[in-house]
Structure 1
Amino acid sequence: MTTALAEKPSFLRSKVGGLPRPFWALWSGTLVNRLGTMVLPFTGVYLTQARGLTVAAAGIVMAVFGAGSLISQLLAGVLTDRLGRKATLTGGMLATAVAMMALGYSTTLPAIIAAMFVLGVVIDAYRPASNALVADLVSPAERPRAYGLLFWAINLGYSVGMTAGGWLAEQGFLWLFWINAVTSVAFAVLVWRAVPETKPEGTQEGGGFGAVLRDRVMVGFTLVVLGNAVMYSQTITMLPVAMTKVVGVKEFGLAMALNGVLIVVVQPLVSGWLGRRDPAITLALGLAVMGVGFAMTSFVTDVVLLLISIAVWTGGEIVTAGIAGSVVAALAPAHLRGRYSGLFGLAWSASTVLAPLLGSALGVTGGALWFVLGGVGFVSAAGLLAMGPAIRRRSALSAL
């Protein structure tokens, strides 16, 4: 047994609510960081209003950011396994703070593009490390609840950050960059001081991404996650474009607040119960419900119908929260948890590119896009049910 794994029981001796204290340090850092996540939601406004870029130029800058995010998860996955979970997370957060400040003070297009690319690479580099830390620290039975709590913290922090960011942007965009940078540093310091390194020591056999790609269950599960991510990414790409034409900008913003409210109120109440259910069946149910919710968008003609559709797909989102991360943790060998989490994260990064392309191809008027998304939800659910026996076998082995 490696040194890190031999020390694992000591991590679990001191628990709060059944979860080890280092997890709560990670949870607190995630919440603080998301409270300060103010730049990305207002990047388009910042580039066009504060820096005077054309819409076309701003689009190029955002595409460069997307290219960086595609690299991010795979690179961070490798670093998580090689350098360690804590080192990767803290390094990613400190690099995010530097990139934020560089972007905030950049005035020329080349400088802005360079800063945005680096920001795309580093801003979510913490995710594979965070996912691996939870898998290392938390027992298999408690992982769905732990990942669900992280999901809850991200949504709570993001909702507050969005609200505060809108007000601060009116005072001056530099406030957003400074707060985002400071909270990133706070996350790094908290993890460095309060979270132990859990990376297994010593040489391991069968390393590298080749081992991950040879795992057919993990590759299939990643495709399912991609379907989930493509559906959800429409909420920040094509859904606003389509629904603001139907109900107006202000009404759409108020309706979307329901998503955050339901997650903050309902998700903590049901995460423990959902975590005790079969993961494949539970996740498949959530994906199917999400598909129904997005398909319902085709019939939206007023705010009430919009609220109903949002409530339905948010219900599916709540069901899936925490389950996917626990499945990845069960599938991954301890020494490859960073790489497995990196492939998992790549599905979400890829969805930010695929979702708008799908919307552009099918159009936001009429029902084609939303019915296709409904189909994506059901196909993803069916695929997951087909993989259910394999996931259950691997989960049982990982729990031994």
Structure 2
Amino acid sequence: MTKTMTRRWPLPGRALAAPAAVADAVSAQRGESPGQQADRAPRVAVDGLRKTYGAVEAVSDVSLVVEPGRFLVLLGPSGSGKSTVLRCIAGIEVPSRGSIRLGGTMVDGPDIHLPPERRDLAMVFQDYALWPHLSAEQNVAFALKRRSLERAERRRLAREALERVGLGDKAARFPGELSGGEQQRVALARALVARTGLVLFDEPLSNLDADLREQLRIDIGALVRDQGATAIYITHDQAEAFALADVVGVLERGRLVQFGTPEEIYRAPASAFVARFTGLAGELAGTLADVRGEQAVVQTAAGTLTGRLLASGRPGRGASAEVLVRPSAVRLAAEGEPGLDGEVLDAAFRGWGYEHVVALAGGRLRNVAAPARVPVGRRVRVQVDPAGCLVALRPAERR
């Protein structure tokens, strides 16, 4: 097999299009159904990926597999390495070590680096990456320029793609005449029109307001799954990740610390970092009173709490610990019900009801739900469900 030696390749216009050799197989030219197109969705396999910038290690030994047609979300804070992983898969960055396979093709490995335009993928960027001097239709049609299509056919397909994202009546407008949400829809149409097997998303919703984010998130999930493509999407938003993903990979300081379904990540986080990053109502410090299998009993200043222990081995009684409480585990107790004593610090209307912040001895809990507003300063009791509690040992106490 002929090898392409490692090098950096330019990315003209940052619009990633499939190569002409692959273009002959796209559904636009062969009339494929979504099911037939799904057969072309590649399996993505990343093995031992490492990327350094001088002395800085941005990604360290990341390995993962995305099965064909599945939707992976890489979740992590800024600086966790998720963008670097995505850019390596796209071919924009050259890995320092490790391999990447798209379907049966090694695109990165020893002495191999295929440029983006030879990877049969499309990409949607955070900053839209549209040509300002081209109309919406021309921006979308640009993704088809490498294909053996007549100009009229490219225009037809571009207009169809714009119709699918709700912009059929704005095909002639230029990016500067469109809102941020509309520009991102154009970018989405451009990524989908080429019907590539792999679509990558680089935090595409982070520049949009809340209502637009939610609507476009729904559209992205529906359109990508309808097309049958494999998708890899990066975000720092836990709610966005759980809403979109078939599988989630959580990154911390360049390492993949957990990989699983949204339900697995939320219900059984691998570490306190994963638990904190995927949503807590609060944390209460205390000491271990007992360990019963996977369940730990912790004595806090507010009262005794039970939760799943996030540690291997069997720590001794008296070890310092923190109870990490999920929002789903807390609610205000009704009159006469038992619970942890506290005082309301704040109340916020959420449409379905109210969320309260309650001060307890030794800490506070947010997201405490109730159907009616409780006045600030009132004494209340909070019920905490053990099923939504996790117990993390403090670093010095781990065995």
Larger radius of gyration: 2
TM-score by length of 1: 0.26
Greater RCO (Cα-Cα under 8 Å, separation 6 or more)? 1
TM-score by length of 2: 0.26
Higher helix share: 1
